[in-house]
Amino acid sequence: MSLVTTRDAATGRGTADDYEPFCLAIRRLCGIDLLQYKRGQMERRIRSFVATRDVDGLLAYAARLKADRAELDRFLGRVTINVSQLWRNPEQWEVLEETVLPDLARTAATQPPRIRAWSAGSSYGAEAYTLAAIARRALPRAQVTILGTDIDARMVERARAGVFTAEDARDAPTATLASHFQMVDGAWHAGDALKRMVRFETGDLLRAAPAAGSYDLVLCRNTVIYFNEDVRDALHGRLADSLRPGGRLVVGATERVSEPARHGLEPESPFVYRKS
């Protein structure tokens, strides 16, 4: 592929636009499609990192990544977004525990209720384990199963371990945390009861196509802000399709679904949408 000459904003000199060929090389190498993310912020993130790697440009770095697995792991650790914590955005968990989960149980097809949940873009598992903990409190008789998926296999392995730092737990309610996690060697370990409720798999949200009506509850929080608008809207459509009627989609506290009715969704709160 030929490189398009553009003007460097810092130097004013003509530069080869090697960003798109670099992204295509990364997609061939590990399946992550960086072109689906907002270019401005992702390109800045990548170029600032590559500038520290003693290589002559992005394409030279792509060749290095192909030959050096450890370097690829370092690169992925830089560009994948793994910001999370237990009980992140506590006000959302309060709504889920007091309103959303009880209603899902009331309208479940079976009694005792079975609740199927998906933590989409689960990072290292803090969201999935938090959901398991509040579900045990809100629905002690229900059978709740939670799938967490993330594109980063390293985060999936960490999630399976279920170990969190004190910083990860900084917003967790003290009594609830102590009821479901054990402090061992300065870290919080998810209890066996939570681990039986959750499982984790590697999965790319941009390619995920679960069967219609697969879930009662889908959480996709603080993830789509990194995608361009077309990708974001298509993803919201697929997430909506995966919900059963009456199911809920929960997005980040500052996120919104564009034209929710187009996806069969009704806003229920600023961050909760009900499947029509």
pLDDT of residue 82: 64
Q: What is the pLDDT of residues 78-123, one digit of tens each?
A: 776 666 899 999 999 999 999 999 999 999 988 899 999 999 999 9
Q: What is the pLDDT of residues 162-213, one digit of tens each?
A: 999 999 999 999 999 999 999 999 999 999 999 999 999 999 888 888 999 9
C-alpha distances in Å from residue 236, one per residue of 55, 131, 240, 263: 38, 20, 6, 8
Residue 214: count of CB within 10 angstroms of its CB: 15
What domains, with CATH codes, occur in the chain? 4-79 (no CATH), 90-275 (3.40.50.150)
pLDDT of residue 10 exceeding 90, the answer is no
Residue 9: count of CB within 10 angstroms of its CB: 7
Identify the weakest region by mean pLDDT among 2-6, 38-42, 73-77: 2-6
Identify the residue whose tokens are 């993310």: 37
Question: Please, are residues 146 and 117 in contact by the beta-carbon 8 Å criterion?
Answer: yes
pLDDT of residue 8: 43
Report the predicted TM-score, pTM, of the whole model to 2 decimal places: 0.80
User: Quick one: pLDDT band at residue 73, thresholds 50, 70, 90?
Assistant: confident
Token pair of 190, please?
């998810």
